[in-house]
Amino acid sequence: MTIRTIAILLSFAMLAACQSSGEQQGQEKSNNETTVNADSLRYPDEANLKNVKQLTFGGDNAEAYWSFNGKYLSFQATNEAWGTECDQIYYMPAGGYSGNQPPLVSTGKGRTTCAYFMPGDTAILYASTHLGNEACPETPHSVQGQYVWPIYADFDIFVANLEGKIIKQLTDSPGYDAEATISPDGKKIVFTSTRSGDIELWTMDIDGANLQQVTDELGYDGGAFFSPDSRMLVFRASRPKSEEEVSLYKNLLAENVVQPTSMEVFVCNVDGSGMRQVTNLGKANWAPYFHPSGKSILFASNHHTDSGRQFNIFSINLDGAGLKQITFDNTFDAFPMFSPDGKKIAFSSNRNNGGTRSTNVFVADWVE
């Protein structure tokens, strides 16, 4: 999922300017100045977070993924101040970058998504449309009267070194190949592809060999991550059931778009066996990631608001029990990612953005 996804979700929700987290925190400060000074970017109910630190300031920054050694984060950003008109890939130290901007890893051409450090932390995997068209592709917000996400057919998966030189292209099949992430043991890549005619999960070896299809049920399967032991996958999925839903899904897919408004979280073994639905909450449940224990999942959702205008991070057990709200920003929190040692969490949020719509990357200590 790219940052344009955030914009579309917020457009879908018809968000007006909301009270910023800074305003809410200012009210808190008058009541508990010591607490605010100690951790001013954390909302009072966020008991699982401590020492919240903002790493980016302005623009749209999201999907910050940890390096294997836990010292760096790759992320994608759209930022006019950096000369970036649509999502491009950057990386930075886990404590934040210095200077005017972090190092650019992608080519600066086309649109990119889902950057992930390769084993050894000297190269980064990401998807890009630049071979099909070097310009930023248009982002449709509505097709056939439906709010949609684009599924750009020009996306392919590449590996670049930290200086931005592409050293390998891993996919060259017609259609969408993107949303790639890597197993903690460094052996496998999972990604989303339309090569079978539907939007399915696939795996391949770290070198791009041994392609295997994981999912085969009608609907959008994407945003997958491996469990800490590399044996399972967690992902978001739509499952059109009625004749009308199926027809709409297929018609939209023919135009390379999907609806983002109805998704649930699923898990399965890496080979696709043991498939089961974890959430049954309605609305949009997405951006799932395994807890370090492997026994629960963090994910983003808007199920808790009637309007669907607010997205927060929740946790849930693999059996669907134990639902718990983790973050409490008034507008948007998503993309929770645990550090390899499980001690920290990176996430993206609209908090502390001065009342703008900028989305930034934050890191916090994780408290059980």
**Spatial separation of the C-alpha atoms in residues 263 and 38, rounded to whole Å:** 37
CA dist 293 to 1, 235, 255, 269, Å?
25, 17, 40, 16
The whole-number pLDDT of residue 144 equals 81
The whole-number pLDDT of residue 264 equals 98
In tens, the pLDDT along 169-183 reads: 999 999 999 999 999
What is the third-level CATH fold of 3-366? Neuraminidase (2.120.10)
Q: What does the DSSP assignment read for 250-298? A: HHHHHTTEE--SSBEEEEEETTS-S-EE-----SBEEEEEE-TTSSEEE
Mean pLDDT of 10-35: 34
Across 28-37, 195-204, 231-240, 325-334, least confident range: 28-37
The whole-number pLDDT of residue 46 equals 98
**Spatial separation of the C-alpha atoms in residues 178 and 89, rounded to whole Å:** 14
Mean pLDDT of 140-144: 83
Mean pLDDT of 26-39: 42
In tens, the pLDDT along 80-100 reads: 999 999 999 999 999 999 999
Of 35 and 348, the one with more pLDDT = 348
Stated pTM of the model = 0.91
Mean pLDDT of 107-116: 98
The whole-number pLDDT of residue 37 equals 56
Mean pLDDT of 286-310: 96
Across 4-13, 15-24, 87-96, least confident range: 15-24
269 pLDDT more than 60: yes
Mean pLDDT of 213-242: 98
In tens, the pLDDT along 184-216 reads: 999 999 999 999 999 999 999 999 999 999 999
Residue 140 — pLDDT band, cuts 50, 70, 90?
confident
The whole-number pLDDT of residue 146 equals 82
In the structure encoding, which two tokens stand for residue 267, read together? 């898990």
**Spatial separation of the C-alpha atoms in residues 268 and 21, rounded to whole Å:** 37
CA dist 212 to 114, 120, 156, 171, 217, Å?
20, 24, 17, 13, 15
In the structure encoding, which two tokens stand for residue 33, read together? 């100045």
52 pLDDT more than 60: yes
Across 15-24, 89-98, 190-199, 338-347, least confident range: 15-24
The whole-number pLDDT of residue 282 equals 96
**Spatial separation of the C-alpha atoms in residues 214 and 217, rounded to whole Å:** 10
Mean pLDDT of 285-289: 98
Mean pLDDT of 115-129: 98
Query: In which order are the strands placed within the sheet that holds 156-161?
Result: 112-117, 123-128, 156-161, 166-169
What's the angle, vertex CA 140, arms to CA 307 and CA 180, rounded to 5?
A: 90
